[in-house]
Amino acid sequence: MPLSELPEFSRLNIEEFPTRLDALLAEARARVKELEAAPPEALLPGLEAIDDRLEKFWSVVSHLNAVMNSAGLREVHARCQPEITRFSNEMGQNRALFEKAQSLSARADELTAEQGRALENLLRDFRLAGVALEGEAQSRFKELKQQLSELSTRFQNQLLDATQAWSKLITDASELAGVPESILDSFAESAGANDQSGYRLSLDAPAYMPIMQFADNRALRRELYEAFTTRASDQGPHAGQWDNSTLMVDILQRRAELATLLGFENYAQLSLAPKMADTPQQVVDFLRELALKGKAQGEREYAELKAFAASKGCPDLQAWDVPYYSEQLKNERYAISQEELRPYFPVDRVLEGLFRVAGILFDIEFERNETASVWHDDARCYRLRRQGVEIASVYTDLFARSNKRGGAWMADFCGRRKLDDGHQLPVAFVNCNFSAPTSARPSLLTHNEVTTLFHEFGHALHHMLTEVDVLPVSGINGVAWDAVELPSQLMENWCWQPEVIPLISAHYESNDALPEALLERLLAAKNFQSGMQMMRQLEFSLFDMLLHKQAVPTTADDIQALLDTVRAEVAVYPVPSFNRFQHGFAHIFGGGYAAGYYSYKWAEVLSADVFSRFAEEGVMNAELGQEFLRTLLSRGGSEDPMSLFVRFRGRQPSPEAMLRDNGIIGEAA
């Protein structure tokens, strides 16, 4: 495939993928051998070319596996992934290339700033991969990495097994009073699929959350709450089965040893090495500052909820009552449902408005590419142009269907890079799972879904509007984990602006504007219980950071004791002693968020602070949009993210805008 062309999806033969990968890897390994013998200045362009060719192959395989999953594709993906991982590990442990990078570092003044940043990241990643370790230390490092991979997988599998082991069949529909009809239908379908009649409840989120929010049956809510919050632990209906207690300790101890081998004081320091935050203590201070400013409001919201529950005949509000009475209070106060908003947000109108907002702010135009090859009739391709010149492409695949991964995500096919005869242009994928159009009506979005679309397009714009020529730091490449959500969370703000909503909404039949009364209720409900929600996220974040910063736990009781201490500091309502949240905290024990869960709040502070300039100077201010593009959005990972932020904002980040946007007044408790 020529470097500048889009993928020919219609011509792809998935059966050929493993053979193509073998050829690509053989070619890459041959090129690596050449680089080992080449002068240092050949290193960066050489590695970039290798990465680019592999990315273009693997991005297509990964994308198709996510949007058109089939037995054949899954098998191909499973065959290819270990080979990609093996090559990645080889590269990370390649001593000759590491020494070449060190030689190049001694001549850093000969590099451009972008190349210098790419080299810094390369050296850092080599060190974090243990390349500088010798003998027994390197062997132990590899052993720990392998063990941690296996332990994390076991943690996730045990959590999944524990989740799937519990179910409850209800034959009397009156026990499910209050639960919406559509949810009852899904419970009945689940029963039928398991050769049962009635309503089958489970601990999967789409089944669990509606019970907690809508079921009038308090005993049922308590039963599900206990089963859910004790999964994979020493408590609850399956106590001791699939118990993650020792796994958590094993994972934490191995992480600490890994960090020590690499010269860090603790795993939190190691986790922050490639991130925007400087030190674990900086993160702890950041979280505690937010807690200090939000706790009083969270406590006030909880007191209000308790009083409301008491007025409805529940004088002793418990954890399993909180979602139920919160839902009732919200409905009583704002009388708004997402379903009521749907007819005003037909997907094409939303896209048209999104393109208009991005067009005004960043001086770009979107043009449908009718000739581009796509993988499904739902998919579309758009060219981005600036003043008539093509600068990028984006594919959208917005509707739910079978064999498509759930949720919403942005991915990339390739990034911008300098070529001998010009530039390779960036290409992004934006994927969502909205309700598909029918013969009677177009796809209609809830306002939550509108926000999701803007969020994912924020990631895509970050990738596509880059002006960086060095691939490892262009677009979303090389952007710190705790800064990468800034553009996506930033774009969400435009969905809430009274001057933008007319651009993205109109009734799909009458073309009428969203009624003023409905808009007012939508905006008023935005920050319902924002204090309680923020304190809960801070609880998770502080627990995660302290767990990886303080003395390494030797028992599961040590972990529980730390969580109890954190809750005493920041929680605004009590949880029962049987609650074992940590045993199901897959983000940090099974995913990539260890000593990194704070990133959600960190990026929210950055994006709110950036948007506060737009709020002050005009949310559709084209000059300000150009300044943001020039100083931050177009710079990708080519500079320190804090430097980019300060360049646009004129100062260090402040949480005040985020607190204000969330309706949190910010007085100390």
Question: What pLDDT digit, counting tens, does each position of 513-563 carry?
Answer: 999 999 999 999 999 999 999 999 999 999 999 999 999 999 999 999 999
Beta-bridge partner residues of 394: 382, 428
Residue 106 CB contacts under 8 Å (≥ 6 apart), including other chains: none
SS3 label, residue 363: coil
- Residue ranges of the domains in the chain? 9-130, 133-164+244-262, 166-229, 341-522
Please state the φ and ψ torsions of residue 248, each to the nearest 5 degrees.
-60, -45
- When mean pLDDT is compared across 146-155, 369-378, 523-532, 630-639, the lowest value belongs to 146-155
Please state the φ and ψ torsions of residue 368, each to the nearest 5 degrees.
-60, 130
Q: What angle do CA 531, 534, 319 make, to 5 degrees?
A: 80
**Residue 401 pLDDT > 90, yes or no?**
no
pLDDT in tens, 85-97: 889 989 999 999 9
Q: Which of 564, 572, 523 is nearest to 297 (CA)?
A: 572
pLDDT at residue 3 in the model: 38
Tokens 């080299």 identify what position?
Answer: 119
What is the helix (H) or strand (E) element at residue 610, kind and residue range?
helix 599-617
HSE at residue 454, side-chain half, CA atoms within 13 A, is: 26
CATH of domain 341-522: 1.10.1370.40
pLDDT at residue 665 in the model: 72
pTM comes to 0.89
Q: Residue 443 has which token pair?
A: 């796809």
pLDDT at residue 337 in the model: 77
User: What is the 3-state secondary structure of 129-157?
Assistant: CCCCCCHHHHHHHHHHHHHHHHHHHHHHH
Mean pLDDT of the chain: 95
Reported in sequence order, the residue ranges of 35-111 that DSSP labels E, i.e. its strands, are none
HSE at residue 35, side-chain half, CA atoms within 13 A, is: 26
The residue type at 270? L
Task: Provide, rounded to the nearest whole percent, the portion of the chain with pLDDT above 90.
Answer: 87
Compute CA distances 388 → 102, 384, 417, whole Å. 43, 9, 20
Whole-number Å distance between alpha carbons of 330 and 324: 10
Residue in 301, 456, 539, 604 annotated catalytic: 456
pLDDT in tens, 406-450: 789 999 999 999 999 899 999 999 999 988 888 889 999 989 999
Told to judge if 27 belongs to the known catalytic residues of this protein, a careful annotator would answer no
pLDDT in tens, 300-346: 999 999 999 999 999 999 999 999 999 999 989 998 877 788 999 99
pLDDT at residue 571 in the model: 98
Contact 279, 273 (CB under 8 A): no
Contact 632, 645 (CB under 8 A): yes
Whole-number Å distance between alpha carbons of 593 and 597: 5
CATH of domain 9-130: 1.20.1050.40
| Beta strand 389-399 pairing with 427-434 | parallel
Over residues 551-580, the mean pLDDT reads 98
Residue 324 CB contacts under 8 Å (≥ 6 apart), including other chains: 212, 213, 214, 215, 221
Whole-number Å distance between alpha carbons of 39 and 567: 56
Residue 328 CB contacts under 8 Å (≥ 6 apart), including other chains: 308, 312
Contact 426, 462 (CB under 8 A): no
Beta-bridge partner residues of 423: 418
Residue 465 CB contacts under 8 Å (≥ 6 apart), including other chains: 362, 364, 384, 391, 392, 629, 633, 634
Please state the φ and ψ torsions of residue 380, each to the nearest 5 degrees.
-130, 155
Distance of CA 137 to the CA centre of its chain: 34
Task: Provide, rounded to the nearest whole percent, the portion of the chain with pLDDT above 70.
Answer: 99
pLDDT at residue 338 in the model: 76
Q: Which of 587, 607, 623 is nearest to 459 (CA)?
A: 607
Residue 108 CB contacts under 8 Å (≥ 6 apart), including other chains: 116, 119
Please state the φ and ψ torsions of residue 507, each to the nearest 5 degrees.
-60, 135
Please state the φ and ψ torsions of residue 634, each to the nearest 5 degrees.
-80, -10
| Beta strand 389-399 pairing with 422-424 | unpaired
DSSP 655: T
Whole-number Å distance between alpha carbons of 473 and 478: 5
Beta-bridge partner residues of 365: 385
| Beta strand 389-399 pairing with 409-414 | unpaired
Beta-bridge partner residues of 395: 381, 429
Whole-number Å distance between alpha carbons of 162 and 227: 9
Residue 402 CB contacts under 8 Å (≥ 6 apart), including other chains: none
